[in-house]
Amino acid sequence: MNPQNAHVILLLYPAQGHINPLVQFAKRLVAKGLKATIGTTPYTVNHINAPILSSSIEPISDGYDEAGFKQAPSVQAYLQSYESVGSKALCELILKFRDSDSPVNCIIYDSLLPWALDVAKKFGIFGAVFLTNSASVCSLYWEIKMGRIDFPLDEDKFEVSLPGLPVLEFCDMPSLIARPEEHYAYLAIIMEKFQRLEDNDWVFCNTFQDLENELLKAMEGQWPLIPVGPMIPSAYLGQPTEGDTAYGASLWEPSSHTYMTWVDTKPPASVVFVSFGSMGTTTAKQAQEIAKGLKASKKHFIWVLKESDGKLPPGLSDEDEDDDGGLVVTWCNQVEVLAHPSVGCFVTHCGWNSVIEALSIGVPIVGVAQWSDQPTNAKLVEELWGVGIRARRDSDGILRGEELDKCVREVMDGAKSEGIRRNASKWSESAAKAVSANGSSDKNITKFIRTLMMGKG
């Protein structure tokens, strides 16, 4: 079979941290000659503002076409609706292509949509899941599935040792595992996915072999996980671009401020970039503390604050540089900012995309974990990969200005800064190697395409 006759549907979960890696995967498959169609909710289709180059995009309804997720009464209701309405829409899409020149022969679906595997099986085509967490975090869910971690966790005594990872305590665990009562709907769907992992033809993960080598090696033969990342455009990894530098597909318009021109005016490695991803919210109290810490550090900064209304202290305003060289924007092209030589530190909530983007581009991190996989990611940033440090929140959950100031200074100028920078550039080289021709992730993708073309036996 010619690769052009292989046709993959990539089914997205409509959250920014899930859209970006899967859209990027679609681009990589298209660059290798496959036909890729992106299936996502009508709300997402209507709101993404970046062109998805070379893939067509088709609506798969989640039952909330007007306002998407925020229209749903609960996470559980949303996931159930997406399953019942989305399954039908996905079947119709496959039928639509059935009599065309390029019938669909594989569905690659986001791990929060495990019902897509049933659709693939119904049509006798390949089904593959795409995991948006690190392999280390996935291994924690896997250990629970295997009954090797006692669940629920005992907060006072809990610790776990896994190959290649530092010992993890209760506070380092993903919040879905540590506080299941707060996230029941997400945890249920994640555990369902891990129960059925082996039913997939492939299990892709947005990581690369070297980054989690010891763990991946120890797990070989136990689980079917295949590293294919990092899912960021090759241009940011010093690789040939095939003309494509656009990243993912953004649900928000970037700020109208010419922030990249602003960053251009700053000296190398002098700017702190602050961004807490797409899902979290920053309270007014927290915003005041962040502003205090950034001011105290006396560094230039660019800070993404999605809703800044009334949250900023006097002197700082949305979309305007303040007197001390700080800029607040509502949204930006994060990888573009990270890749700018003037950026010397990334203050992040440690969402997996943000971490793997910074690791791949080689930017030192101050980790301010919020929820989900972020506490584990922050732990590994500091203790496994040595590319940054974790900032501690107070018992009321607030990151104080003093703590932020201390961490920013430590990462940029402190005793640990040289080692952190060295590790950051080492991981950046390693990421570039993984996605270059014949690198570990590139080989895994090529092998997948070869099997896909041989067809289901």
Q: Which residues are catalytic?
A: 18, 110
Closer to ligand UDX at the Cβ: 42 or 375?
375
Which residue of 250, 282, 308, 428 would you call a contact of ligand UDX, by CB under 6 A?
A: 250
Binding of residue 278 to ligand UDX (CB under 6 A): yes
68 binds ligand UDX, rule: CB under 6 A = no
User: Residue 128 is inside which H or E element, if any?
Assistant: strand 126-131
Closer by beta carbon to ligand UDX, 61 or else 354: 354
Best CA proximity match to 225, nearest among 341, 111, 359, 69: 111
Q: Phi and psi of 361, rounded to 5°?
A: -90, -20
Q: Would you give the distance in Å from CA 285 to the centre of its chain? A: 27
How many chain residues touch ligand UDX (CB under 6 A)? 27
Tally of residues, the chain = 457
Tokens standing for residue 371: 């929820």
Nearest Cα neighbor of 356 from 383, 338, 332, 331 is 338
CB contact at 8 A, 38 and 63: no
Any contact of residue 290 with ligand UDX (CB under 6 A)? Answer: no
Count the alpha carbons within 13 Å of 198 in the hemisphere toward its beta carbon.
7
Q: Is there binding between residue 175 and ligand UDX (CB under 6 A)?
A: no
Q: Considering the rule CB under 6 A, would residue 327 count as an interface residue with ligand UDX?
A: no
User: What is the contact mask toward ligand UDX in residues 108 to 137, using x (rule: CB under 6 A)?
Assistant: ------------------------xx----
Whether the CB-CB separation of 104 and 37 falls below 8 Å is answered with: yes
Interface with ligand UDX, residue 212, by CB under 6 A: no
Q: Which uninterrupted H or E stretch holds 366?
A: strand 365-367
Number of Cβ atoms within 10 Å of the Cβ of 258: 9
Is residue 336 a contact residue for ligand UDX (CB under 6 A)? no
Decide the pairing of beta strands 106-110 and 7-11.
parallel
Q: Three-state SS for 346?
A: strand
22's CB contacts (< 8 A; 6+ apart) are 10, 12, 38, 108, 110, 130, 132, 231
**Residue 376 interacts with ligand UDX (CB under 6 A): yes or no:** no
Q: Does 335 bind ligand UDX (CB under 6 A)?
A: yes
Stretch touching ligand UDX by CB under 6 A, among 84-92, 106-114, 165-173, 329-337: 329-337
- For the CB of residue 390, give the shortest distance to ligand UDX in the complex, in Å: 15
Supply the minimum distance, in Å, between the C-beta of residue 65 and ligand UDX. 22
When the beta carbons of 126 and 247 are compared against ligand UDX, the nearer one is: 247
CB of 138 or CB of 434, closer to ligand UDX: 138
360 scored as a contact of ligand UDX (CB under 6 A): no
Nearer to ligand UDX, 35 or 183 (CB): 183
User: Which one among 334, 342, 360, 428 touches ligand UDX, defined by CB under 6 A?
Assistant: 334
Please, which residue, 14 or 17, has the CB nearer to ligand UDX?
17
- DSSP-derived 3-state class of residue 239: coil
Cα–Cα distance, 302 to 304 (Å, whole number):
7
> Which residues make up the interface to ligand UDX (CB under 6 A)?
15-18, 20, 132-133, 250, 275, 277-280, 304, 331-335, 351-354, 357, 372-374
